[in-house]
Amino acid sequence: MHKPVKPILSKIFTAAILVTVWLTFYYEVVIALLIFICALIGLFIARAKYRWQVLLFSPFVIASAFSFVAGIADYCAGNATEKTGNGKVSDEFFNLDPELRVWHRMSEYASNDNELFTYEPSNLAIEMCTKLFGRQRGVYKGYYPEKRTVIDSLKNVQPIRYFGNKQSENAGWLGYKSITFNYNGDAVKIKDSRREFLGFFYKCDSAKVLILNNECILFQPVSYPRRLTVFLADRKQEKYLLIITIKKIAMAKTDTKDLLKFLKPFSKETQELVLWLREFAWGVCPDTNELIYDNYNALAIGWSPTEKVTHTICSVAAYRGGTNVHFGFYWGSQIADREKMLLGAGNQYRYLLVKDKKTFPKAYITKLIHEAHANCLAKVKDPKLLKEGLTITKSISAAKREPKKAKTAKKI
């Protein structure tokens, strides 16, 4: 039989456990959980007096309970949002949920895996309240069309002009804080309730507009003909509801007329490899433009958020002097190549020599592309330069380097 731990030692040990667990909870939740479990097992084996206090006052219980109560309070106030940790998400992530009719929100801080205790109880409380008592007050409860309905509804709609109210004289990335347009004789306004999204409208002045059931506004800016992005808004509250990205880069990706012509002098194996790498690059960089250079030494294809080569994210180059194919980064010296796979010792360009599809490290190169993409966007000082979905042949050299001829055996 184990003897009970002395009260004073039990108090000190209990306090030390709670302080340690609370301190590590917001930085390394896995370590905090391991410390907590081990300590709790030890306290129960030793029949410590304060073992239940350690359990009840741990961050895993307190944070979960607080999060659950906060979710109920937000639901009652009409401010409920489903939360998730920080990470890379699509534009559609922030939409109003079609079932629960709550917004999605992402943490402003780096994820440390404690969302299971800080966010999930709140999300659970919101879902429970919605199922028991209906959708929260003040939220849009009208018609919510499916993606297929949106596509079919806007197919034959003609664009109309709209007018924007700028955030400031140097709006730039912020765009408009509201837009207005005339629809069948009525003046209709959409406010920038989500701030970041009406920046899309800053680049053009016309859109396809349709109002469904006199409550749901479909609004598609025509500045993105190859990226069919549709915004939905609540006509009554004049607020943005969600964004639907229907299709990205369909036309540019299939625009291969010039490229196939430029590839003809290369071997069949090189052609297949270049086209496969092109498909991969478009998949990772769908919101960019394809810049083609049919030069003396090589055929090069780059992907850029503008029409400028200095903003190039990544590229594919097939060299005429042999069978070398490079997957390169225009500003490769500025990205973190932790695996040391990239070649090149200059001030700027780095590349990977691609032998075949099987050995190409897709996952690792994808990470490098994301970092390069962010770096290149930071170099774009004028947002009006941003474009997407274009395939542009930038240069064609009149003279081309002759391919290496096959070696023939010398006559003896």
Residues 286-313 have a mean pLDDT of 91
pLDDT for 56 = 80
In the structure, what pLDDT confidence band is assigned to residue 242 with cuts at 50, 70 and 90?
low
Residues 146-175 have a mean pLDDT of 68
Considering the chain, what is the average pLDDT of its residues?
79
pLDDT for 169 = 46
- Reduced to 3 states (helix: H, G, I; strand: E, B; else coil), residue 401 is coil
For 4-26, the pLDDT digits (tens) are 545 666 667 667 777 787 878 77
Which of 28-42, 114-128, 213-227 tops mean pLDDT? Answer: 114-128
Range scoring the smallest mean pLDDT among 131-135, 237-241, 298-302, 337-341: 237-241
- For the chain, count helices (H), then strands (E): 11, 15
pLDDT over 60 at 136, yes or no = yes
Share of the chain above pLDDT 70, in %: 76
pLDDT over 50 at 1, yes or no = no
pLDDT over 50 at 64, yes or no = yes
Range scoring the smallest mean pLDDT among 16-25, 326-335, 398-407: 398-407
pLDDT over 70 at 393, yes or no = yes
What region does 389 belong to: left with phi over 0, alpha with psi -120 to 50, or beta? left
HSE at residue 381, side-chain half, CA atoms within 13 A, is 1
In the structure, what pLDDT confidence band is assigned to residue 202 with cuts at 50, 70 and 90?
low
Residues 365-375 have a mean pLDDT of 91
Cβ-based burial of 272 (10 A; exposed 0-12, middle 13-18, buried ≥19): middle
pLDDT for 184 = 84
162-177 burial, b if ≥16 CB within 10 A, otherwise e? bebeebeeebeebbbb
Q: What is the pTM of this model?
A: 0.50
Residues 275-282 have a mean pLDDT of 93
